Structure 1
Amino acid sequence: MKYNYILILFLVLSTKAISQHISLDDDFKKDNRNLTFDKEDFKIYFDKEGMILENKHKENTKWTLINTDSDYDEIDFDIEASVTLIKSKSDEAGYGLVWACYKDNSNYHVVNLNANKQNKLYWYYNEKFTYDLKWTENKNIKNKKENKIKVSRRAQFVYIYINDELVVKSDNVSYYGSKFGFIVDAGTTMKVTKLKITEYPLSIDVVETFDPNMKMEKLPVSISSTEFEETNPIISADGKTIYITRKDCKFNIDSENDDIWFATKDNQGKWSDLKNMGRPLNNKGNNFVISSSPDNNTLLVGNKYAADGINTNGSGVSISSKTIDGWEIPKALEIKDYINKSKYVGYFLSSDNKHLLMAVERDEGLGLSDFFVSFIEDNGTWSKPVHMGNQINTKEDEANPFLAADGKTMYFSSNGHPGYGGYDLFVSKRLDDSWTNWSKPKNLGKVINSSSTELSIFLSAKGDKAYVGKSSDIWEISNTVKQDPVALIKGRVFDNKTKSILYTSIFYNDLKSNKELGKAISDPSTGSYSIVLPYGQRYSFMAEKEGYYAVTENVDLSNLNEYKEITVDLYLNPIEKGQTIRLNNIFFDSGKYDLLSESNAELEKLLKVLKDNKQLTIEIAGHTDAVGADNNNLVLSNNRANAVMNFLISNGISKERLTAKGYGETKFITTNDTEEGKQQNRRVEFLILEM
């Protein structure tokens, strides 16, 4: 297709739209803008009804363009035009509207009609034609009568109407130029009776905390290389380990497929070089990490793995944990009634390891891929996916969910919510425990998002930094979205007698209800663990291992108002004669000995140990701090020890196996000069007398 064009400059002075604004409105009954043009093969002239474009050239298409002065990347708009075909040398010859043409005419969009009652919609960019619609029959088109063309841009979507009928909805537009006009094929004459451009504020709901001055910084070449493509950044809860997917790399196990690589950050904030994860996480297929548990000892990974750890076993999602021998071969998750009609899928495993988010296409959805959630069941399988509601889901594609450490703030990619490009990144907040009630999604703004495609974002538990895969590189940017505060509880697990490290499970519960909220494991090499606890309540957490009494700690996050890291080492006591074991989660009101309900979990645990070990006899010991009279403290400690003993007796433990004794202030384990020291001295313990 060859083009000759006449460029008529018409400046419409306007600033970025604050409210609805008509920037151009002409019925062309008079040549008010000096548009008349007269050459042998192309004429523009006016009669009492409108502007006539007469193309007498034998083969070249002609056009005329009007230059406005608005930034159409930054606003929404409606273009309304009325055109009539007067004559054409063939029924296939086109005529119509040129819109959003770039300044040097290298990028433009066309709505074309012809006498065959057909329409064609295309755009031209980088010397390439892209068709939203090739010549297609449209019985709504009127021959030699006025036809109305309307183009509406709302965020990333363009709606094109012919005679008030929607012909195409498209997101296949990445740039909006400031020139508008009309186009006629060779041997064709058309009349224009209207061109109106109405501008609106850009209909993108951006997060209130968006800062346009933020800068994205590419991670160092040790991670974001110049040689290979790196995507899909996954950051650990403590922000010190990053997993990425490296594509088309000669150092991958299979150079034609993707591999998982990782790097660590030292105490000075410097990232190490990337290292290949090796087998079994990398095999002959495409390998990638989806999410990491807070302890960084369990990874959710893409696809299914064969039992040999070398080959793939189809699409799906798998999980792998560290063992004494290294990472185990990933095991496929079993999801009830799992169906996905799309060739794409996205997953995320929540910090508590109990909620599996997924982007899949199912009959229960609104159209293309939607967000669903599955819940872990007692047997380790996952429930049938539940649709997550119409607030975050659209008729278009939702992709790559990421649930922040607070368990409520979800970041995701979508091309269905108003954005700047094909896919943008958004954030929404879960409003209740139904998993279907979410706040209105907010766009993360035009620093993170662009006119191209943004598909993934990941944050550490602190939530101050976001990591984004963009243009084959890994980028870091400050996160301005406020999440609910969380505490990262971390430490190591030891044998209290030998002080050797232990490989154990760590459970954390609601202290009041004793409801289990999540599970972690300690690193088999270092004994380290970490768990993430949201603000607003009191928690208990304990390490549990066969042959040991599970030591329980507690933390009160009722008034937590910012991210906090708390180090708590856990010491497990072997269940053997002579061991003294502290009952950390036994609670009394000040100066009283009535057991509070928050003590039930600890009491039930002690009860189970006694029932499982029939020969076990113990002494229950009560201790106080130095506050108060010595005699009063002795009586109080004795009463508290008896309260624990009476609970055990009332639940079936023989009195002959139990002794209760109060020691008052006689056995301090630390100073009484600090509140923390006093708290440690106020304790209930039991001593194993016989096994």
Structure 2
Amino acid sequence: MKTTHPFFKILFISLIFLFSSSHINAQFLKKLGKRAEKAAERAVERRVDKEATEKTDQALDSILEPGSKGGKKSPIPNGDTPIVSGSGNNTPSSENTTGNSTDSGPKTLSVYSKFDFVPGDEQLFYDDFYNDFIGDFPSKWNTNAGGEVVVLGDESEKWFKLKSGYNILFIPNLQSLPEDYTVEFDVIGIGVDKTSSTSHLRVDLSDDEKFKEGANFVQASIPFCQYTPVGITLENRKNNKREIYSTVKADIRNAITNGAHISIAVNNERFRLWVDEAKYIDVPQAVPANKLTTLKFHANNFKDGTEQLFISHIKVAKGGVDLRKKLLSEGKISTNAILFNSGSDNLKPESMGIIRQIFQVLQQDASINLKIVGHTDADGEEKNNLTLSKNRAEAVKATLIEIYGVDADRLSTDGKGESEPIGDNSTTEGKAQNRRVEFIKQ
């Protein structure tokens, strides 16, 4: 019987390995920005060959988690299918975290320097599912179908996995939503590479406190289709009469699959929506004023089991006072809208709306100097929280200097750690209130 020379066996096995490896890498690279792709590809090859240096590892990590400095890994898995934990594990999450990416590669704070979304200054609702058991439906929410709390990959951050085709809603303990408020959340779609062109997440603000659209509503449909840029659809109804149904051009395909931050601002009848730093919708008379009570999430046309939709870090905050005017008139403001990656002093890009307002105050009056004071919740060691709060204040100062060119001599910093809480550290909402930054005129 004819035998195959060992060299050809080795060559054959090597070719199989290279082919399968390149296929895996292609799937991996598909989720990275175009500018980062070549650098990441070189890094992946070096890792496969076990010749990657520490510097290369840090570079790859910074691509996977924009803004990272070698700290906590991104909660967004690299593959198409997440590793989802089973029920019975009550691993707690910590502070707000998200990974963000655009078509043009990793985001930096400077990309967000003109981001004009400013969250409401009075928090009404917050949920990161910290107190919910994995595998359970979230305790603060209501549904006519189902869903469950999960973790993605080996991260402790919790996400709400939505079932397709059903309304899932929460009702804050309010008689109605205020005239001015903001809604924020993180969202990611996994396994949606070949999803239907009609798959979308609909965000409803409605006067119906159950599972219907209501006689009065405004809703935005965020597309998850990957093979064509479908656009974001805005629809409303006032007293059962539809006034607006329009699709705004938007290519958010990469943002959705890498993890996007959605920001919505309602000011009386005006409705605005941002995906990461880009504002796509701004309609002056879209909202039925003083009639809406309920926020709803409605996942549509996702294939059960293969196409998965997750949301987390849902926040509703009452708007109203312009922080710039308050800082000038009262000499002090406090905000929990400046966000950091969990357990670190890495600023989240969506914090730039507030920091931009602070810059505008300093720009307007050159005689003003500011003291920046950081605060944390009570999770972790008290000593570590004190250090973290000081580092976070320094990070805000550095951003004002490096991004906006503020003179360093006009800024000083301090940190109070967990020593001055304004909310209950035993609740998710209280912890979110305690994670804040103060600005004090000097």
TM-score by length of 1: 0.23
Structure of higher CA gyration radius: 1
More helix by share: 2
TM-score by length of 2: 0.35
More strand by share: 1
